[in-house]
Structure formats: structure tokens, C-alpha cells
A and B are shown apart, each in its own frame.
Chain A
């Protein structure tokens, strides 16, 4: 039984006003997103419709501090299948941005961020690949402006966010 105290009535309002979260207001709980989502079919915890319902109901704590938002692989199937223009995938991004601000970042994403801050890219070529490219007469991998990337990420405080990361509650 969820007491009102556990619910945060203003949660839907908060998500609706995050840059990619406006779609939550259109949701009519039809279930088309969860039944077309490839992940929902394989992982029981991940259910986009139920996630939207929890936002509407206001279970802020359960949504932002668990693994729930991190299963989505942003293939936008739910967004295209949503009959009400509920932009479910966009709302997923909105919740993840909110979760990151609360320090909830899984390891895989943190690794990508670390790589980005260190090398300016998410995927960096292994030494063996650089030699192979040489042999094939291809140019070295494209040049990256690493300092400029680091300056940008300092301005958007991404590096601070990554530093204040806590492990996620199962």
C-alpha cells in the first residue's frame, strides 16, 4: 500500500517541464509502447507504460533511484507507436537526465562518459586497428579536439556530475 507520503504529487509536473519530458502529459496508458518495446519483452522490470504510470502517480523515489530508467535502448519504437504523441522515448531521456542529477548513473554509461572526457570520443580505436589502417593506406583515425571537448563538458558540469556518482540501488 503506497502511502501519500511516498508519492510526490509534483513529479509529473517536474518531468513535464524537463526539456524532453513534455510527452508524459499525453499518455493515456494504452499499453502500445510496452507491447512493442523489444526490451520489455525480455526484461520484466522494464515496462515503459508502467513507468509512465508511476510518473503520473508520483512515485519519484522508485523511478529516479533504481535501475528502471536504464534499460531503454532509445530505438524510438515506442515513440512512433504511441497514438497520442506521448514521446515515451523522450520521457525516458528526461528521467535519465533527472536520475543522473540525483547521482544515479550505471557503470556502462559512466564508462562511456569517462572515455568521452579522456579522449573526446566514446569509441577509440585499438593500436592494432591504427596499424591495420596504415597497411590499407587509409588515413589515421580522424583528429579530435580533445581540449575543446573538455572545456565544453566543464561548462556543462558533466564532469562534476560523473564525479558525484553513487552506485545504483538494485
Chain B
């Protein structure tokens, strides 16, 4: 199974630990990630709000690179996934729109044909690899660990494009495959507040707080995310909330790749543990490299 790896901009710029974990677990499942050269911004929520055609053109350009490589594109970040998937779906179905976009892409000598699919790491692990294989790869299961899953809005919504509730349950199944217990909490389907970072930080923090309250009420011990925005938001805002609202949640936030990596017996390096603002130990003490 070979995929064109679209890292996006946030993971390389802010969360190398996510990239390291992904690179470590994928070979075990026979997944080969081929680097994509000369990609551009996937035009996430901010750019979509400015102009419709710019969004379609920028996203389509990345799709053309994938088509040239002849590989399906895999993304980790929900925003990239949402933008590329929606544009891919729209251009495949709406020929008149495809011609308009190709007219713009002609400026840079590219043409969108609609030959490939866009997948998220969760699609790869759930559909292509299969939960059974993931379960077999687990050496040290997290029995008893109460996990609140946060697949993220752009991975699961709008439901009409992302096959409805299936995505939520798929991610839960994958997390359960590592032995942990998934907790169903009230605001599982609502947003972490991430996209407002840089636009209105207090608001982003308050939205995150609503989610954290709900997770705490449901009795979860930690949060597992897919999207780097959710990771950053839920992790960083717990410190800001402690400062502003004097409320302690200490819910450690983990990328699913990190959770799976630890379940497969590997230990997190020291710099990776430090890049989590909410301390991972004492909850995951035996899974971390000492010192």
C-alpha cells in the first residue's frame, strides 16, 4: 500500500512529534509514504472564507500532483483532508466546475483529471489496513485507560460527505483496538475551537473549555486526537484555562499515532513528552523514556 504523503503546513511547522510517530508506526502495517514535492497550501477554512475559486484552484493543484504520482493522497491534518476531499468530490461530480478550475490551473500548466482519492490516516488504518491488523500489532495494550476520542470536525462532518456517523465509530474502534476504553461524552461531536486561534484566542479557549467540561463530566482520563489543530487547542487551552478560570482538568492530549506507537511497545522520546503541555506522566509513566 503506497500513498502520496501530504504533510500540510501545521505539522511540519509546529508538531514534529506527530510526524515522527507516524513515520514510526506506518512501516509495521506495510504502508509506504512517498513524499510529495512542490505542494502548496490546501486552502483551509481561512482561505475558503475569502474566495471560492481560489480555494478550488489551490486544492486542485495539490490533487494534480497526486495524480501525476499516480497515488492516493493521505493527510493527517483535518483541515487539509476536508479541503482536498471536498474539492475532489465536487470536481469529480460537477464537470462545469472542473472546466472552470482547469482554466485557472492552465496558468501553471496543470490539469485536474479526477483519478485519485483523498484519505486520512484513519481511513487508511480502518479501511485499508483493517482493525484486526492494528489489534495484532498491539504488544502492550492500554487496558483500563479511559479515553475521550476527538476525531475532529473536519474529519467527520459534514456527514453527507464523510459517510455519516461511521467515521466517529471507526475512530472509536481503532482506539479500542489499542486496549483502551472509549468514553461517550455529550459534546463528542462539537468543535475544539482551533480554527479561531490567531483570530480570537479567548473565544477559542472558551469553546475548548466547554468540550473539556463535558469530557471531565463523562469521567475520561485523557484525550486522543487526529487533527493537529485539535491537539494544539485542547492541549494549550488547558494551561490558559488554569490561568484564567483557575480550573484544573489535567487531561493529557495524545495524537492517535502516539497512542498506537506506545501500544505497539515503543516508548516516547524525552523531547516528544516535553512537547505535550499537559504532562503525560503520571498517567503514562511506564510508557515514556526516563530523563
Nearest CB of B to A134, in Å: 11
Complex CA–CA separation, A139 to B10 (angstroms): 15
Complex CA–CA separation, A151 to B110 (angstroms): 12
0/1 string, A46-89, CB within 8 A of B gives 1: 00000000000000000000000011011111011000000101
Q: Total A-B pairs in contact (CB under 8 Å)?
A: 175
Are B210's CB and A80's CB within 8 A? no
Interface residues of B in 34-66 (CB under 8 A from A): 35-41, 44-54, 57-58, 61
Nearest CB of B to A18, in Å: 8
CB of A32 closer than 8 Å to a CB of B = no
Complex CA–CA separation, A120 to B40 (angstroms): 6
In the complex formed, the residue of B with least CB distance to A112 is B46
Q: What is the size category of the interface that chain B forms with chain A?
A: 35 or more
Q: What is the size category of the interface that chain A forms with chain B?
A: 35 or more
Complex CA–CA separation, A75 to B208 (angstroms): 13
0/1 string, A127-163, CB within 8 A of B gives 1: 0010011001011011111001101110111100110
Complex CA–CA separation, A122 to B199 (angstroms): 13
Complex CA–CA separation, A111 to B197 (angstroms): 13
Are B108's CB and A144's CB within 8 A? no
In the complex formed, the residue of B with least CB distance to A75 is B191
CB of B7 closer than 8 Å to a CB of A = yes
Are A136's CB and B20's CB within 8 A? yes
Nearest CB of B to A49, in Å: 17
Are A152's CB and B44's CB within 8 A? no
* B53 cross-chain contacts in A, Cβ below 8 A: 156
Interface residues of A in 36-54 (CB under 8 A from B): 36, 38-39, 41-43
* B198 cross-chain contacts in A, Cβ below 8 A: 108, 111-112
* A13 cross-chain contacts in B, Cβ below 8 A: none
Q: Which of B20, B54, B157 contacts A156 (CB 8 A)?
A: B54
10 chain-A/chain-B pairs, Cβ below 8 angstroms? A71-B203, A100-B49, A112-B47, A122-B9, A136-B271, A142-B35, A152-B58, A152-B104, A158-B50, A162-B50
Residues of B within 8 A of A (CB): 7, 9-10, 12-14, 16, 19-20, 35-41, 44-54, 57-58, 61, 104-105, 107-108, 153-154, 157-159, 189-191, 193-196, 198-200, 203-204, 206-207, 210, 271
Q: Which 3 A-B pairs have CB atoms at the shortest separation, nearest pair first?
A: A75-B191, A108-B199, A76-B157
